[in-house]
Amino acid sequence: MKGRRVAAVHTGAKGLRSPFARDFKRRLTGAKVLSCGRRAKYLLIGLDTGDTLVLHLGMSGRVTIIDPDKSYKKGRHDHLTLIFDNGCRIVLNDPRRFGMAFVEQTARLNDYPAFRVLGPEPLAPGFTGKKLVAALAERSAPMKNILMDQRIVAGLGNIYVCEALFYAGISPLRPAGQVSVVEASRLVSAIKKVLRAALKAGGSSLRDYRHADGSPGYFQTKLAVYDREGQACPGCRCDISRTGGIRRIAQGGRSTFYCPRRQT
DNA sequence: CTCCTGTCCTGCCGGC
DNA sequence: TGCCGGCAGGACAGGA
């Protein structure tokens, strides 16, 4: 898409989380794409107008790129379509409309409220156990909730938090301030490992929800604890008929899956 | 400031 | 068989 110019913009009537800004289409039309990037869970499309198109997929959002010669049947929940000068199209489809799409001045991106407070990228070299343990200090909230907080580390969601805590052997219930630097280092390694594995496998979409190019994410078949209530965790040596296997609890209104015997 | 709860939205699934 | 309640996810608002 780099180097292509936006020829036309179509938006759905309903908008996403919030309605499209009044000048949304105007600021995109005619703009040339300079860069495509990502920050936390936000997709960033840099334009030659000094603006950046920011997209967020929420949970059910899907961005599909359609080649000029390919036919495309308009989806019921298509909310944004960019048509480029070469006939290529980008479609943002989101049944639950939890996603976002807005234009912001590139130079002011970091002033955007959600961006300003964003924590470190989990895959960046600077994200270390030492840094993490400092961010956890004095915090009484459970580790699960803390890792879901994008201000602590940016880009983890419910599935990967559950998985990383399992591989680190840390209970999701543990008060964050009680995590040692050794444990935090183990957790950082686990987070990086889980994310790299998921990326390699093509994401973790559940059920019929698919990933960027329309193909399903296959990582869910490799998940250790998420959505595996009552099952044995990988390498489990306990008698699950007696222990009940992987446990599911609610934290912050979300499901947490963990092994109470191997995560302390 | 931290922590916690409720809200948004739609489709799917389980239970009656 | 059909209907309906509950649940899933990420961000954020607002109250304690």
Provide the 3-class DSSP secondary structure of residue A192. helix
pLDDT digits (tens, 9 = 90+) for A37-67: 999 999 999 999 999 999 999 888 889 899 9
Q: Report pLDDT for A53.
A: 96
pLDDT tens per residue across span A203-228: 665 544 454 445 555 555 678 999 89
* Cα–Cα distance measured from residue A100 to residue A94, given in angstroms and rounded to the nearest whole number: 10
> What is the pLDDT at residue A140?
95
In the predicted model, what is the mean pLDDT of residues A1-23? 92
Q: Which residue is nearest to nucleotide C12 (CA to C1')?
A: A114
The residues facing A192 across adjacent strands are none
Strand B-proximal protein residues, Cβ less than 7 Å: A 14, 17, 76-77, 95-98, 139-142, 145-146, 176, 207-208, 252-253
In the predicted model, is pLDDT for residue A16 greater than 80? Answer: yes
Please name the residue whose C-alpha is nearest to the C1' of nucleotide B3.
Answer: A141
Nearest nucleotide to the CA of A99, by C1', is C10
Nucleotide nearest to A76 in CA–C1' terms: B10
Protein residue closest via CA to C1' of B6 = A253
Predicted local confidence at residue A70, as pLDDT: 86
Estimate in Å the CA A155 to C1' C16 gap, whole number: 28
User: Of all nucleotides in the shown strands, which has a C1' nearest the CA of A16?
Assistant: B9
Residue with CA nearest to C9's C1' atom: A59
Decide if pLDDT at A202 tops 90. no
| pLDDT of A239 over the 50 cut | yes
Considering the entire predicted model, what is its pTM?
A: 0.92
* A220-232: burial string, b at 16+ Cβ within 10 Å, e else: beebbbbebeebe
pLDDT, position A212:
47
CA–C1' span, A256 to B6, in Å?
A: 19
**How would residue A85 be classed by pLDDT, with cut points 50, 70 and 90?**
very high
DSSP string, A200-251: HHT----TT-B-TTSPBP-GGGG-SSTT-TTSPPTT--S-HHHH-SSEEEEE
Of A59-73, A78-92, A95-109, A147-161, minimum mean pLDDT range: A59-73
Whole-number Å distance between alpha carbons of A68 and A65: 10
C-alpha span between A233 and A245 (Å, rounded): 7
Question: For chain A, what percent of residues have pLDDT higher than 70?
Answer: 92
Q: What local confidence, expressed as pLDDT, does residue A204 receive?
A: 61
Mean pLDDT of chain A: 90
**By percentage, how much of chain A surpasses pLDDT 90?**
70
Residue A124 in this model has a pLDDT that exceeds 90 = yes
